Amino acid sequence: GESVGLHLPTLSVQEGDNSIINCAYSNSASDYFIWYKQESGKGPQFIIDIRSNMDKRQGQRVTVLLNKTVKHLSLQIAATQPGDSAVYFCAERARNTPLVFGKGTRLSVIA
Amino acid sequence: DSGVTQTPKHLITATGQRVTLRCSPRSGDLSVYWYQQSLDQGLQFLIQYYNGEERAKGNILERFSAQQFPDLHSELNLSSLELGDSALYFCASSPASEATEAFFGQGTRLTVV
C-alpha cells in the first residue's frame, strides 16, 4: 500500500476493543482539525472534523477530543473492527492556511 | 467514493520527461489542493487553487506547476522529472477557500525510471 515503508507508530488492538489514536499538533493558531483514514491503495478518507471552539465531537463509532491547552488531538474508535485497519492521519489548519498533516499512525486490528 | 476524480491512476515515465496529472473536484467545490505523498515524507502540501486563482503555495518545486480551469478541474504539471519525484500525488477539494471538509481523490502513482 501507499503508506507501507513509512516508519509509522503502530497501534495493535483486539477486534471489539476500543482504539485511541493520538496526535500532537504544533501550531497554536490552528482552529480546525480533521482525522483521515487511509487504506492501502486508496486516498485519505475523511472521518470526522472538529473546530477549535469545541472539545469533543462524536460521529458513528468515532469520537474526536481536542485539548487546546496541550495541543493534543485524539481519535477514539469504539468496538474496533478489522475494516478499521489503516493508517490514520490528523490534519490541522490555521485560518487562511492549507491543511497540514501529521505523520500518521498505523492501526492494526487483531481478529 | 469521495467524488474527487484523478487521472491517470498510474504513470510510469523516464527521467527528464514531463507529465500532467488531472483532477476533477466534487460537484460544487471551488477549491482544489494538490498533495504529494512519498514513502519518507508523508503528505506534503503543494498548492491550492480557489475558483481559478492560486490561493496558497507550499513546498512545490519550480519544475512543478498547476492551474485550475474555468470548469474547476485542475492539472498538475511535473517537468524535468527526477527519480525522487516518484510518489503518490493526491488532489483534494473543498467547497470554500478555507480548507474545511476536504475530500481526497484516489491519487496518481507516479513512477520515474
Q: How confident is the model at residue B97 (pLDDT cuts 50, 70, 90)?
A: confident
Q: Which chain A positions have a beta carbon within 8 Å of B100's beta carbon?
A: 32, 49, 93
Contact (CB<8Å) B99/A99? yes
Q: Which chain A positions have a beta carbon within 8 Å of B58's beta carbon?
A: 98
Pairing of strands B74-78, B19-24: antiparallel
Amino acid letter, residue B109: R
Prior bond of B95 cis (ω within 30°): no
Predicted pLDDT of residue B39? 76
Q: What percent of chain B has pLDDT over 70?
A: 98
Question: In three state form, how does the secondary structure of A81-99 look?
Answer: CHHHCEEEEEEEEECCCCC
B107 close contact with A: CB closer than 8 A: yes
What does the pLDDT look like over B53-68, one tens digit per residue?
999 999 899 999 999 9
Query: One digit per residue, pLDDT tens: chain A, 111 residues?
Result: 333 345 688 999 999 999 999 999 989 999 999 999 999 888 999 999 999 999 999 999 999 999 999 999 999 999 999 999 999 999 999 988 889 998 899 999 998
What is the average pLDDT value for chain B, to the nearest integer? Answer: 94
Label residue A45 exposed, middle or buried (CB < 10 Å: 0-12, 13-18, 19+). middle
Q: Which three cell numbers mark B80?
A: 524535468
